[in-house]
Amino acid sequence: MALDKGQPKAELLWASTREVLNLFQAEEAGCAIITVPHDILAKAAKMIGLGLADVSLDTVKMFLKDSTDAGFSL
């Protein structure tokens, strides 16, 4: 990130990433460093490049599995 000569040398850090969306938000904000928990990184690796319909379908399937595993039915 280029800084003005009158500005201190600093880089933005994004910490406490909670969801994949935060990775895109951090990039858009110009963060040089992003801390990412392993589970979020794994989710991002799976989701990035998928269309919204695919992500939505995957989410619905996840909720169905969780509810079925919990003994709920429709």
Unique residue bearing structure tokens 């991002």 = 44
For residue 27, the Cα-to-chain-centroid distance in whole angstroms is 11
pLDDT at 47: 86
What pLDDT, on the 0 to 100 scale, is given for residue 2? 59
Please report the pLDDT score of residue 6 as a whole number: 73
Q: Count of CB atoms within 10 A of residue 32's CB?
A: 11
pTM for the whole structure: 0.64
Averages of pLDDT over each 10 residues, the chain, 74 residues: 68 93 94 95 89 90 94 86
